[in-house]
Amino acid sequence: MRQSHQLPLAGLLLFSLIPSQLCEICEVSEENYIRLKPLLNTMNQSKYTRETSSSVNVLLSLQLVGIQNQNLKQKLIQQIKYTVKRRLSQVNSGELALITLALGACHNPDENLIYDYHLIDKLENKFQAEIENMEAHNGNPLTNYYQLSLDVLALCLFNGTYSTTEVVNYFAPENKNYYFGRQFSVDTGAMAVLALTCVKRSLINGQVKTDESNLKNISIYIKSLVEKILSEKKENGLIGNTFSTGEAMQALFVSSDYYHENDWNCQQTLNTVLTKISQGAFSIPTAAAQVLPALMGKTFLDVNKDSSCVSAAGNFSNSTYEPVTVTTPVTPSSISVNYSVRINETYFANVTVPNGSVFLDVMEKAQKMNDTIFGFTMEESSWGPYITSVQGLWASNNDRTYWELLSGGIPLSQGVGSYVVHDGENLEVRWSKY
Ligand code: CBY
């Protein structure tokens, strides 16, 4: 009761004191919450056993939007605790940043775990290791700038130590780490805007002291990154692709001072994302978790708001929902595809797989046919399997090399575990530089 009186007052205060921090947010209306149900189903149904980064993404998302599914949350927290206790040294910096954000979100009781396990100190060390790797390896971090942005964001939100000057040195919009080849990475740029906005706010609030030039540069960086994000807007309103749009929306919510109202039709973006949901595009828990906050008007900067994140959505996860049945057309039970591995030479195979197979099934079948040419290794990531080597040739972050997936010469926007292949398709894994 008391809170409900205080909130409008606090809102009014914010409005009058710091207009430069206002956000332009469009969100799904309550009567449309039912359209988000497939996302919750995806997050709910998954196993969350081996791999933590998808549980962390899901926990953070549920906390932020204020969904009261205690059963699921407890399961996720147990798993995260196990990771923190047993294998923290193997966790990369961005994953630890996500763990911190998820445990600390909205002042829930698990927040203490951050301090019990000294997660902020450990994150500071992992962030420093990223910087040291950049010094030693031609500006290439141990992981990538998406994770470095998560690191700065978590350190900024939870009062960790970081050097503002270092942030200014490393996060300039011209930095190659925002790009994969010539392509600007919207996911990366969006996460950087969130991190830089947090840093900017701490400087303005006087929580962190620095000279005027750093603050000015951070504003210039945000403006330039926002321009790059908006230039990746497609005709249907998606920004980058289906999977980067949620994070791009978050970045645009917190940076509305930096673009004109007419530069972005938020409602159109929102509607296209809702259509994608109904088409089953967010069937991986991480994909569902990453898009949900923006649809409910939340951003990662809400993580340390003074209130707990209770929302009108609190109980909608308990409502009944009839899953949409997708009718698949009748097609032959086997399909055949052309598969190739390209290094300097190209190695071909014609592979027959059951209809409905994914890219990984094709690679496995080819491997069985010829292990020397088509042998490969992979590791589990929050988005499913990631190919680490083919023919014994390993991807390397220090060299910015990876195995790129293509169909008909065009890079895929899904991984090997989720891309469903078609009859007659020309699939390729190509040794590439990003
Ligand atoms: N997360 C991370 O560290 C990953 C950051 C990320 C920007 C990520 C996309 C965005 C996100 N929201 O998580 C990212 N990809 C990176 C950094 C990379 C590089 C990884 C190496 C490094 N330096 O860390 C790299 C090599 C450029 C890369 N992604 C490659 C690929 C291809 C993987 C192929 C393989 N070997 O298995 C692939 C399939 C592109 C291709 N055609 O080859 C790819 N990425 C895709 C499609 C994606 C999207 C996944 C979408 C989906 N439905 O599966 C992505 C969301 C993501 C994961 N990559 Co990268 C981008 C998008 O399409 N919007 C933090 C950690 C804690 O979890």
DSSP secondary structure code for residue 312 in this structure: G
Please check if 388 is assigned to a binding site.
Answer: no
Count of domains observed in the chain = 2
Of all protein residues, the one whose alpha carbon is nearest to atom 31 of ligand 1 is: 404
**143 C-alpha to ligand 1 centroid (Å):** 11
Which of 98, 176, 187, 382, when mutated, tests ligand 1's pocket best, judged by the most ligand atoms within 8 Å of its CB?
187
CA 245, 250, 256, 257 torsion-angle sign: negative
CA pair distance 238, 232, nearest whole angstrom: 8
| 114 and 236 housed in the same domain | yes
Q: Give yes or no for residue 405 CB within 6 A of ligand 1.
A: yes
Q: Which atom of ligand 1 is nearest to the CA of 411?
A: 42
Task: Look up the domain containing 195 and give its range.
Answer: 36-302
**7 C-alpha to ligand 1 centroid (Å):** 39
Q: Give yes or no for residue 187 CB within 6 A of ligand 1.
A: yes
Helix (H, G, I), strand (E, B) or coil at 234: coil
280 φψ region: left (φ > 0), alpha (ψ -120 to 50), beta (else): left
User: Is 15 contained in some domain?
Assistant: no
| 283 and 379 housed in the same domain | no
**383 C-alpha to ligand 1 centroid (Å):** 8
Q: Does residue 123 contact residue 160 with C-beta atoms inside 8 Å?
A: yes
| 147 and 227 housed in the same domain | yes
Cα dihedral 135/138/144/147 (nearest 10): 20
Q: Give yes or no for residue 100 CB within 6 A of ligand 1.
A: no
User: Is 318 contained in some domain?
Assistant: no
Q: Give yes or no for residue 415 CB within 6 A of ligand 1.
A: yes
Q: Give yes or no for residue 339 CB within 6 A of ligand 1.
A: no
User: Is 145 contained in some domain?
Assistant: yes
265 φψ region: left (φ > 0), alpha (ψ -120 to 50), beta (else): beta
Q: Which residues contact 176 (CB under 8 A, 6 or more apart)?
A: 139
| 121 and 257 housed in the same domain | yes
Which of 278, 302, 326 is at the close of a domain? 302
Q: Give yes or no for residue 180 CB within 6 A of ligand 1.
A: yes
Q: Does residue 286 contact residue 383 with C-beta atoms inside 8 Å?
A: yes
CA pair distance 374, 18, nearest whole angstrom: 59
**189 C-alpha to ligand 1 centroid (Å):** 14
**What residue has token string 């009718």?**
327
Q: Which atom of ligand 1 is nearest to the CA of 385?
A: 37
Which of 281, 302, 323 is at the close of a domain? 302
Please check if 412 is assigned to a binding site.
Answer: yes
Please check if 98 is assigned to a binding site.
Answer: no
CA pair distance 89, 122, nearest whole angstrom: 9
User: Is 313 contained in some domain?
Assistant: no
**What residue has token string 């998302």?**
61
Q: Give yes or no for residue 51 CB within 6 A of ligand 1.
A: no
User: Is 352 contained in some domain?
Assistant: yes
| 411 and 273 housed in the same domain | no
Helix (H, G, I), strand (E, B) or coil at 427: strand
Residue type, 352: T
pLDDT of the residue at 419: 98
**102 C-alpha to ligand 1 centroid (Å):** 21
- Assign residue 112 the CATH number of its domain: 1.50.10.20
pLDDT of the residue at 109: 81
**146 C-alpha to ligand 1 centroid (Å):** 10
Q: Give yes or no for residue 294 CB within 6 A of ligand 1.
A: no
Q: Give yes or no for residue 293 CB within 6 A of ligand 1.
A: no
Walk along the chain (434 residues) and give the pLDDT tens digit of each residue.
Answer: 344 445 454 444 444 444 444 566 899 999 999 999 999 999 997 776 666 678 999 999 999 999 988 899 999 999 999 999 999 999 999 999 999 999 999 888 889 999 999 999 999 999 999 999 999 999 999 999 999 999 999 999 999 999 999 999 999 999 999 999 999 999 999 999 999 999 999 999 987 787 889 999 999 999 999 999 999 999 999 999 999 999 999 999 999 999 999 999 999 999 999 999 999 999 999 999 999 999 999 999 999 886 667 666 666 655 444 555 556 666 669 999 999 999 999 999 999 999 999 999 999 999 999 999 999 999 999 999 999 999 999 999 999 999 999 999 999 999 999 999 999 999 999 999 99
How far out from the chain centre does Cα 284 lie? 12
CA pair distance 19, 113, nearest whole angstrom: 35
b or e along 143-180 (b: 16 or more beta carbons within 10 Å of the residue's beta carbon)?
A: bbbbbbbbbbbbbbbbebebebeebbebbebebebbbb
**11 C-alpha to ligand 1 centroid (Å):** 38
Please check if 403 is assigned to a binding site.
Answer: yes
Q: Does residue 198 contact residue 301 with C-beta atoms inside 8 Å?
A: yes
Q: Does residue 38 contact residue 316 with C-beta atoms inside 8 Å?
A: no
Q: Give yes or no for residue 140 CB within 6 A of ligand 1.
A: no
Q: Give yes or no for residue 147 CB within 6 A of ligand 1.
A: yes
Q: Does residue 283 contact residue 276 with C-beta atoms inside 8 Å?
A: no
Which of 255, 283, 302 is at the close of a domain? 302
Long-range contacts from 184-187, C-beta under 8 angstroms, 24+ separation: 184/228, 184/231, 184/232, 185/145, 185/146, 185/240, 185/244, 186/229, 186/232, 186/239, 186/240, 186/241, 186/244, 186/247, 186/248, 187/146, 187/240, 187/243, 187/244, 187/247
Q: Give yes or no for residue 245 CB within 6 A of ligand 1.
A: no
ipTM of the complex: 0.99
DSSP secondary structure code for residue 328 in this structure: P
| 79 and 208 housed in the same domain | yes
- Assign residue 397 the CATH number of its domain: 2.170.130.30
